[in-house]
Structure 1
């Protein structure tokens, strides 16, 4: 942000269409704005936080022109300058707070993958009731570790608040998506053959196959997801310093978001290849990559104060996946074969992977478009960001 854009910045008094916007009478509209948003201005440690807060409240560069400022950043500098500071020195905007790396969150993001590998090893070495106990205990342990990983570091929604900001429903839908990644493809294969006759055992010769490789890769991907979230947060804060306006920041933040998203997908692809080779299984790239993309985007939006859209989209994807085996089973009823026809046609043409890839891919694309609109705004990255 240019520090020269002080009160009455260049281009003041005109909106984007070039028309002058005069003050009415002798009133001071900036003073009125300061009165309405005094709490925001007093809490801010620099003008950047005020600019981001104003943007979150719907004040745009066009609105700033009515206050004889060229953009929201210039208006924010005047608001910051007008708030009494009790003689304290003004912090420089070059010292925008950047998230620091911490050994605690680095360790926590590595634990889900390590614990997932340990649980999988236990399943391979046991059978019968012992295997069932290992599976149930392992699922609980991995869930608790993932929950802990969301409490700290870049994947935490906000310091001191609940790590599960998306609510109980979104948590349940996420578990359903992961459950389908583990069991869904196998279920779609056994239903047309008249099954399932029993619960899956995880044995290699079991008709209801279990996809361990993609789920293990997704637990290992907690670490690169946290690193990508850190890179996005740190890069966005630095770009706030050099921005000359809200549009300038958006232009700089968009490639940053796309770059970190692509970096995560690359890391997840490598993990899928590694897990598939180690377990001698199909890596299920379409299903796992689209699911990983969906979960990352949902978490990034949640971390940066946008929670409603991720919960809604994840729920839609999980419901779509659950509908596929439900329709196949419903098609067994007399006179209801037409219910299973769409799923059978899709599976026959593109395989069982088409169902989760289509559901999660569509959902991930929806969230990516939403993220490009919301996570490229200054209000999403400043400490004063306002939740949805």
Structure 2
């Protein structure tokens, strides 16, 4: 029968390889001491081994382990909110923060920020994330595509023959350069830096960006020429164009194209409004759920504001040019392009590229299927396109393709653009 040691642990019940029943993490309540115990025995008696209590070593610091895992994020962060956004991007939620003895991710991020050793005499910054600064050039630059688009349409209406073709080519080139400039600076500019928790964009990111440009160019070209081309394909050739003459000008949707170029400015202002509002709500939130609840109506409100501006410009262009407004497909395309750009700006490139490509592929299939139906025995291929056009007209094809893709992107944006990680400023990027 073994003696019970201090703390109620039997002395004889030692595990193999672990003296005194000690645990691997040093959780034993005491250690053996060979000093004589003052138990009233004679001085010459053999001393009895007794158990001496020593302080119990506490469990490993969980926050320290988390700090070691995300040290690069914590050292490069300029604000605790940036650490909170990075932790959320890694899947850390308020429930996860509770396991680290914190009420939410924000308080956990504040402790991580305070415990990170920094070189130099820089004091911790407790001010909220500053909103992006408004610059005159970045505010007025989105107006340039609309101005050039109006000048191009006016030139096309005042010229004919060879000069008309030259005006069209010059206008398209100028519009491309102006749009590129508007997308490289200002609220619609892509991510100029990479957050601390993301890897630097590589070959795959550049490939995705190139595909996005190609699909966007296709969608805009179809918006300008697609309805007339689809009508010619379905009716047997250019002799049946709505102009009534084989050598007449190709029918173009001038009002929708002009409205889309003019909405470059409202899109930039809506993107700026979304970013500023989201960062203000991020600074005032004390939990991820609170921020999501505040950011979701801001996202939907900004989206509705853009659709209202596009509708007003579309009606105005149709009235001035005395041309059909083609509201359904233009609104669908405008919504798709805005959501794709917002997701790209906030570091979500894959979904816009996939859905823009799906919309472009749908429009291309609508043109290719009637052509393939002319092959012997393949007439059934054109049946879906003919039925859709017969019921709703040529405009139903881009409206259906772009509208479905825009709805999918809206649902994706409601999940991703309402997260704190979407609005953390990229490392080294200007405000």
TM tier, shorter chain? Answer: 0.7 to 0.9
- Tell me what 1:3 maps to: none
Higher helix share: 1
Alpha-carbon distance between aligned partners in 1 of 2:244 and 2:418, rounded to the nearest angstrom? 44
Long gaps (5+) in structure 1: 1-23
Long gaps (5+) in structure 2: 1-56, 195-200
1:91 alignment partner, one of 115, 125, 132: 125
- Tell me what 2:214 maps to: 172
1:188 alignment partner, one of 230, 241, 262: 230
Partner-residue secondary structure (3-state), 2:307: helix
Q: Deviations over 1:199-231 (max 9, x none)?
A: 99999x948421011011000000000000000
Alpha-carbon distance between aligned partners in 2 of 1:362 and 1:103, rounded to the nearest angstrom? 36
Alpha-carbon distance between aligned partners in 2 of 1:348 and 1:199, rounded to the nearest angstrom? 16
Any runs of at least 4 consecutive aligned residues in structure 1 with deviations exceeding 4 A, and if so which?
A: 160-166, 197-203, 205-208
Task: Kindly state the Cα deviation for residue 197 of structure 1 after the two structures are TM-superposed.
Answer: 4.9
Q: Contact conserved, 1:324 with 1:343, CA < 8 A, in 2?
A: yes
TM-score by length of 2: 0.79
User: Which is bigger in relative contact order (C-alpha 8 A, separation at least 6)?
Assistant: 1
- Tell me what 2:356 maps to: 314
Task: Kindly state the Cα deviation for residue 196 of structure 1 after the two structures are TM-superposed.
Answer: 2.2
Alignment of 1:187-206 (within 5 A): 187-197=229-239, 206=248
RMSD: 2.5
TM-score by length of 1: 0.88
2:286 alignment partner, one of 222, 244, 249: 244
Residues 302, 290 of structure 1: alpha-carbon distance in 2 compared, 3 angstrom cutoff: same
Alpha-carbon distance between aligned partners in 2 of 1:181 and 1:247, rounded to the nearest angstrom? 40
Task: Kindly state the Cα deviation for residue 186 of structure 1 after the two structures are TM-superposed.
Answer: 1.4
Partner-residue secondary structure (3-state), 1:99: coil
Alpha-carbon distance between aligned partners in 2 of 1:67 and 1:142, rounded to the nearest angstrom? 54
Which has the larger displacement, 58-67 or 289-298? 58-67
Partner-residue secondary structure (3-state), 1:356: helix
Q: Contact conserved, 1:176 with 1:318, CA < 8 A, in 2?
A: yes
Corresponding residue pairs, total? 361
Return the index of the structure with the highest Cα Rg. 2
Q: Does 1:66 align with 2:108?
A: no
Alignment of 1:1-388 (within 5 A): 26-85=59-118, 86-93=120-127, 95-159=128-192, 166-197=208-239, 206=248, 208-384=250-426
Task: Kindly state the Cα deviation for residue 74 of structure 1 after the two structures are TM-superposed.
Answer: 1.2
Q: Contact conserved, 2:263 with 2:309, CA < 8 A, in 1?
A: yes
